[in-house]
């Protein structure tokens, strides 16, 4: 499997009239400086930001009106990706620039194709719709963020909650437990599940229709007493006399049932739209009146939420859309109410005509037991006949739909079995054992024996590492976990192996001896054919790594340079080429 290697990053700010360009080498790279706030982390983040990864980039940078360009290679093929705002630009080898209006959707699919990233996740609102997630989900195991990743694994990028319960699927795909073929089968399951969902909705409508017919015309005792063959013969005889009237009545009954069903459905949608509008109004009021600044940090999980003016404007746009839905649904509901009244009036007129013929078939009311009960003069034999005819028709339809649902369930069950066969139990157990062995070895290499590994069975158990051992040992335990995962990814060959970026390995003030050991560990552990980019303060403990690495040393001017704007800004006119 080829590797993704960063070759060059070009940056320009039209606001500051500044620019710069940074080159990277295929093996070891170091972003360093003498100051802790000189821009090391930002420079690393801009690599991912350009490719659509959206790390937690300082909002100040967004105010600089920046545009960036990353040149990277996969094998012998060189690609370019440019970004301006949320607009993405992609140029494949020997190709022209392609423009994408946003990161999600077409761009995410294009980038996943390049990186051979085959994971799919269900849409949060519709689980039958599988989507290619944005590049952040591909880069997750390859980026250790200074602020987010040392306390919690698989947390390098914000806003990952756009997909519900994504962790298990993404981790298992990266590490080889889920093969690309798994998602090919998953797409078939999703398609058949959508068909099942549609059939279930039809069954629900049919059940509602039957209840409506029973409510308007309860079944006559005489028609209930008939056998199926007697019912068919009698129906034929009556149809000779009043076929047209009966046909109209049946059609009206079906129409009324459909209208009632549609009214129930639209009312439910209308209630949801009204609720959404009210909730969005509250969200906007909260973002304006209760949140100071342009970010909101969740006190429970630490997720950073955007509260910038564009984001608040998007809330208002969503509310306008919800209000439009309310208006549209209200109009449709009013139209159905008119149709309902008109259908009722037509039904009354037809029944009046039927009454003149109905006397031939009225039920015998001689029985004293029956006479003791109140008579329902409006309930005719023909009404019951029409009711049973409608019920018979919809029952056949419901049986067809129910059979379809059973068949889909059997098909999906067989497809799930096919997914399980892609990897044998022994293969999974061997992968678990290899991961545990590597993790234990790396824990030992990093002198983090205080970390408790007994609850760890696989790479999915990353949360069980939190807080194990002292603060410094726990940090080294997290690093050992990252390296064990990367080794699994490299062996699985499910995807292009990306460059690895680790921001400031000296967390929790590691003792000088341990910090040197950490850097030596990284050089020895990162696969020999992959790229490593480290961000670290310029101090003597990094000298051994620095001698082997291509060094980018930032100064007090930080990342951008006023003198280089005219040189590099023309390179970033990729939007003029589309």
- pLDDT band of residue 443 (cuts 50, 70, 90) is very high
Cα distance between residue 189 and residue 410, in whole Å: 11
Residue 490 has what pLDDT?
96
pLDDT at 296 over 80: no
CA 234 to each of CA 10, 17, 382, 383: distance values in angstroms, whole numbers, following the listed order = 85, 90, 11, 14
- Mean pLDDT along residues 285-314: 66
- Mean pLDDT along residues 44-51: 96
- pLDDT band of residue 372 (cuts 50, 70, 90) is very low
**Residue 250 phi, psi dihedral angles, 5° rounding:** -60, -40
As given in the structure block, the two tokens for residue 576 are 């003029």
Cα distance between residue 296 and residue 278, in whole Å: 21
- pLDDT band of residue 482 (cuts 50, 70, 90) is very high
The residues, ordered by sequence, that sit 6+ positions from 121 with a Cβ below 8 Å of its Cβ are 130, 131, 133, 137, 163, 166, 169, 170
Residue 204 has what pLDDT?
80
- DSSP conformation class of 555: B
Asked which of 152-156, 208-212, 384-388 is least confident by mean pLDDT, the reply is 384-388
Place of tokens 């008579």: 375
Strand order in 550-553's β-sheet? 143-144, 500-503, 532-537, 28-33, 550-553
**pLDDT for 249-281, tens place per residue?**
778 888 888 888 888 888 888 888 888 888 888
Please enumerate, as own/partner, the contacts of 540-544 that have beta carbons within 8 Å and a separation of 24 or more.
541/506, 541/512, 541/515, 541/516, 542/30, 542/32, 544/516, 544/519, 544/520
- Enter the CATH code of domain 4-179+423-577: 3.40.50.300
Residues spanned by CATH 3.40.50.300 within the chain?
4-179+423-577
The residues, ordered by sequence, that sit 6+ positions from 226 with a Cβ below 8 Å of its Cβ are 234
Asked which of 46-50, 348-352, 378-382 is least confident by mean pLDDT, the reply is 378-382
- pLDDT band of residue 130 (cuts 50, 70, 90) is very high
Residues 497, 4 contacting (CB under 8 angstroms): yes
Instruction: Classify 200 as helix, strand or coil.
Output: helix
pTM, entire model:
0.72
Instruction: Classify 384 as helix, strand or coil.
Output: helix
Residue 369 has what pLDDT?
43
pLDDT at 224 over 60: no
The residues, ordered by sequence, that sit 6+ positions from 52 with a Cβ below 8 Å of its Cβ are 81, 83, 88, 103, 107, 108, 111, 134, 135, 136
**pLDDT for 303-331, tens place per residue?**
566 666 667 677 777 888 888 888 888 89
Place of tokens 């997630």: 133
Cα distance between residue 82 and residue 19, in whole Å: 15
- Mean pLDDT along residues 518-532: 94
pLDDT at 223 over 60: no
Residue 222 has what pLDDT?
52
Asked which of 213-217, 373-377, 410-414, 482-486 is least confident by mean pLDDT, the reply is 373-377
- Mean pLDDT along residues 136-145: 95
- Mean pLDDT along residues 46-63: 87
Residue 371 has what pLDDT?
46
**Distance from CA of residue 105 to its chain's centroid?**
11
User: By percentage, how much of the chain surpasses pLDDT 90?
Assistant: 43
Place of tokens 């157990």: 429
- Mean pLDDT along residues 415-419: 91
More reliable by pLDDT, 230 or 182: 182
**pLDDT for 461-472, tens place per residue?**
988 887 676 777
Residues 104, 134 contacting (CB under 8 angstroms): yes
- DSSP conformation class of 216: H
Instruction: Classify 126 as helix, strand or coil.
Output: coil
Q: What is the mean pLDDT of the chain?
A: 83
pLDDT at 140 over 50: yes
Cα distance between residue 298 and residue 300, in whole Å: 5
When mean pLDDT is compared over 223-232, 340-349, 560-569, the highest value belongs to 560-569
pLDDT at 354 over 90: no
What are the residue ranges of helices labelled H in 33-133? 40-50, 59-63, 106-115
Cα distance between residue 458 and residue 435, in whole Å: 7
Residue 139 has what pLDDT?
97
Among residues 395, 384, 378, 377, the alpha carbon closest in space to that of 250 is found at 384
């Amino acid at each position: 499997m080829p590797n993704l290697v960063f070759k060059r990053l070009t940056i320009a700010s039209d606001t500051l009239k500044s620019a710069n360009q940074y080159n990277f080498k295929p093996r070891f790279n170091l972003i360093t400086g003498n100051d802790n706030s000189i821009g090391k982390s930002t420079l690393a983040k801009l690599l991912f930001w350009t490719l659509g990864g959206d790390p937690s980039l300082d909002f100040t940078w967004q105010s600089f009106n920046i545009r960036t360009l990353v040149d990277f290679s996969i094998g012998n093929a060189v690609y370019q990706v440019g970004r301006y705002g949320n607009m993405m630009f992609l140029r494949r080898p020997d190709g022209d620039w392609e423009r994408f209006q946003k990161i999600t959707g077409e761009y995410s699919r294009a980038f996943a194709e390049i990186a051979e990233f085959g994971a799919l996740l269900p849409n949060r609102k519709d689980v039958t719709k599988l989507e290619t997630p944005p590049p952040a989900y591909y880069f997750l195991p390859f980026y250790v963020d200074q602020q987010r990743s040392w306390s919690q694994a698989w947390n390098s990028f914000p806003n990952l909650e756009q997909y519900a319960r994504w962790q298990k699927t993404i981790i298992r795909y990266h590490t080889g437990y889920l093969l690309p073929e798994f998602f090919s089968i998953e797409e078939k399951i999703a398609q058949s599940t959508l068909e099942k969902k549609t059939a279930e909705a039809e069954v629900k409508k049919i059940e509602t229709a039957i209840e409506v017919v029973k409510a308007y015309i309860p079944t006559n005792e005489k028609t209930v007493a008939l056998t199926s063959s007697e019912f068919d013969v009698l129906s034929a005889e009556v149809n000779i006399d009043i076929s047209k009237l009966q046909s109209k009545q049946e059609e009206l009954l079906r129409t009324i049932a459909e209208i009632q069903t549609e009214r129930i459905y639209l009312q439910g949608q209308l209630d949801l739209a009204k609720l959404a509008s009210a909730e969005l109004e509250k969200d906007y009021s909260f973002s304006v009146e209760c949140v100071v600044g342009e970010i909101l940090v969740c006190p429970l999980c630490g997720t950073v939420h955007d509260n910038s003016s564009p984001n608040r404007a998007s809330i208002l746009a969503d509310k306008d859309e919800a209000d439009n839905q309310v208006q549209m649904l209200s109009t449709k509901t009013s139209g159905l109410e008119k149709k309902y009244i008109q259908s009722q009036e037509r039904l009354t007129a037809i029944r009046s005509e039927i009454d003149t013929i109905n006397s031939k078939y009225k039920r015998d009311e001689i029985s004293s037991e029956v006479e003791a009960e109140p008579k329902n003069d409006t309930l005719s034999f023909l009404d019951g006949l029409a009711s049973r005819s409608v019920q018979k028709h919809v029952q056949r339809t419901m049986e067809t739909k129910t059979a379809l649902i059973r068949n889909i369930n059997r098909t999906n069950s067989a497809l799930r079995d096919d997914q399980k066969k892609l990897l044998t139990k022994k293969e999974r157990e061997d992968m678990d054992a290899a991961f545990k062995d590597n993790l234990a070895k790396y824990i030992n290499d990093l002198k983090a024996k205080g970390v408790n590994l007994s609850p760890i069975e696989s790479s999915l158990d990353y949360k069980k590492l939190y807080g194990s051992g002292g603060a410094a040992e726990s940090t080294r335990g997290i690093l050992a976990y990252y390296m064990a995962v990367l080794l699994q990814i490299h062996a699985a060959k499910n995807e292009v192996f990306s460059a690895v970026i680790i921001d400031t390995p000296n967390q929790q003030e590691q003792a000088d001896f341990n910090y040197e050991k950490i850097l030596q560990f990284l050089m020895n552990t990162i696969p020999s054919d992959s790229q490593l980019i480290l961000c670290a303060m310029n101090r003597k403990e990094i000298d051994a790594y620095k001698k082997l690495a291509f060094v980018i040393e930032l100064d007090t001017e930080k990342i951008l340079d006023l003198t280089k704007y005219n040189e590099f800004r023309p390179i970033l006119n990729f939007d003029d080429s589309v």
